[in-house]
Structure 1
Amino acid sequence: MTTALITGASAGIGEAFARELAARQTDLVLVARSQNKLQELASFLKNRYQVEVDIIVQDLTEPNAGETVFQTVQQLGRSIDLLINNAGLGDYGDFAESDRNVQIKMVQLNIAAVVDLTHRFLAGMRDRRTGGVINLSSVAAFQSMPYFSIYAATKAFILSFSEALWAENRSYGVHVLAVCPGPAGIQFFQQAGFPASLVDVVARVNTPVETVVQDALKAFEKREAIVIPGSPINPILATLPRFLPREAVARFWGLVLGARSIP
């Protein structure tokens, strides 16, 4: 039986991955900050699907978090066949007026933790000549987004990073996939501090997290490098910026997200 490690597993897309993989008889290692939510989810999945589920309570923005997770997995005697880097943080607002510590934490969680965990677990997969990594990017990766600048930039990194690893690891039997959903659930946007008016817009174009997971796993099975799941509007949002001046794209999103023009 294979084992998957999922970060940000206590809610949203991460929880949906856990539920779907458990239903497919995949053992799990679930990582998140919320011990109560992880324990509740683990107990449910064990009883429902008769799979092994371990939890690791860890804030991935903390120093040496990747080392802690890796060593805990070793102590559990687990071999990770599928790494799902799902944990992420967003923050809405004017960058110059934002909380600097939040922006740095976003880079730590969205980029550094992904690089760290991927490097640690990828080596074993290559040695075994099997395994895979699924990295959660976003349609935001395909364009700069004023008032959501750091988030979009971190997801652009994840997309480029994942595509490169897809090419590097094919000959080792290890598959790497970048998943680039559009809005999937409104809780993320509420926590990121989006105005209520924008959250309402997000709710109207929302893709169920279960759809994101199902589309991602289908693409993974097909050995695709990238998938843009959900609504047909998401591939349009990802592709259209390629045919427009970058300044025009930035101005457009500045108007949409900032509700004012950009000087």
Structure 2
Amino acid sequence: MKTTNQHNQKQTALITGASSGIGYELVKLFAREGYNLVLIARSGEKLAIIAQEFNQKYSITVKVIPKDLSEPTSPEEIFQELQQENITVDILVNNAGFATYGFFNETDLNTELEMMQVNMVCLTHLTKLFLKDMVKQGYGKILNVASTASFQPGPLMAVYFATKAYVLSFSEAIANELEGTGVTITALCPGPTESGFQKRAAMEDSKLVKGQKIMDSETVAKIGYTALMEGKTVVITGIKNKILAASVRFSTRKMVTKIVRSMQERQ
């Protein structure tokens, strides 16, 4: 893992979903490497505790912006607040996201619309807002947290899988457009990860998770951070996940969907 902020010791990284899981582990990595931080999450209380922790531990500035990213106005509000304070974002980490579990005809529509807003629309909006200045200054990095769910349809989590397919496709396309600009975009595709994700999605009893040895958030964050610093476009965490993602190409879509359905069902 690259461990030095060589470009500018006072660069700023903005991280969404910063209060727990992969997001919090990324906060720790960026703080350790001397980046100033802008932290976004719903809980202002949690963010304040994190800010105090890293302000005391490292000589960095930590700004917190409590926001519910399911609100369509949130990205513009974040951008305007930073503009007013003359804070330039050099690295954008679109980590915030969540899932729902169950048959699509039975799940809650409002929750799924909020999920689409957070997982796709907010990610796209923030990227649009901050990317222009990155290109103008000739330097910048964006980490979009996708998933191994990006590579195939996902019965019982249909909307979530679709949102992550969008994130991967979007990231790869923009990465191509940005070649030669000094700006890179990386899509991080972890498999199931030890965090609060499964509990929020109410899928702790699914075969994909229950009884399985899954990667911890710290390891996923380190893999994502290293890939981001190296300018890689796509990184899949773990050999097993890489094999599963690649195997999709050798099966029919119908067969792949059936296999995913089997893995997603409750034990």
Give TM-score scaled by structure 2 length: 0.93
| CA distance, structure 1, for counterparts of residue 42 and residue 253 of structure 2 | 37
Aligned equivalent of 1:120: 129
Aligned-pair CA distance for 1:219:
1.4
Aligned equivalent of 1:236: 243
| CA distance, structure 2, for counterparts of residue 119 and residue 134 of structure 1 | 13
For the 8 Å contact 1:189–1:199, the answer to whether it is kept is no
Given the alignment of the two structures, is residue 250 of structure 1 paired with residue 225 of structure 2, yes or no?
Answer: no
The letter of the residue matching 1:192 is A
Alignment match of 2:31 (pick from 18, 22, 37) = 22
Partner of 1:59, secondary structure, is coil
Partner of 2:65, secondary structure, is strand
Alignment of 1:161-180 (within 5 A): 161-180=170-189
Aligned equivalent of 1:102: 111
Given the alignment of the two structures, is residue 213 of structure 1 paired with residue 230 of structure 2, yes or no?
Answer: no
| CA distance, structure 2, for counterparts of residue 259 and residue 14 of structure 1 | 27
Aligned-pair CA distance for 1:218:
1.6
Consecutive unaligned residues of structure 2, counting only runs of 5 or more, are 1-9
| CA distance, structure 2, for counterparts of residue 81 and residue 27 of structure 1 | 10
Give TM-score scaled by structure 1 length: 0.94
The letter of the residue matching 1:153 is A
Aligned equivalent of 2:153: 144
Alignment match of 1:88 (pick from 92, 97, 105) = 97
Aligned-pair CA distance for 1:183:
1.2
| CA distance, structure 1, for counterparts of residue 197 and residue 114 of structure 2 | 16
Q: 1:94 to 1:120 in 2, by over 3 A?
A: same
| CA distance, structure 1, for counterparts of residue 166 and residue 36 of structure 2 | 29
Consecutive unaligned residues of structure 1, counting only runs of 5 or more, are none
Alignment match of 1:223 (pick from 231, 237, 251) = 231
- Between the aligned residues of both structures, percent identity stands at 37
For the 8 Å contact 2:21–2:195, the answer to whether it is kept is no
| CA distance, structure 2, for counterparts of residue 29 and residue 151 of structure 1 | 26
Q: 1:195 to 1:21 in 2, by over 3 A?
A: closer
1:183-212 Cα distance to aligned partner (Å, 9 max, x none): 1114201110114354753x6331121111
Partner of 1:95, secondary structure, is coil
Partner of 1:54, secondary structure, is strand
- Farther off after superposition, 39-48 or 219-228: 219-228
Aligned equivalent of 1:204: 212
Aligned-pair CA distance for 1:254:
1.4
| CA distance, structure 2, for counterparts of residue 189 and residue 152 of structure 1 | 14
**Structure showing the higher helix proportion among its residues:** 1
1:103-145 Cα distance to aligned partner (Å, 9 max, x none): 1111100000000000000000000000111000000100111
Alignment of 1:184-199 (within 5 A): 184-196=193-205, 198=207
| CA distance, structure 2, for counterparts of residue 223 and residue 234 of structure 1 | 21
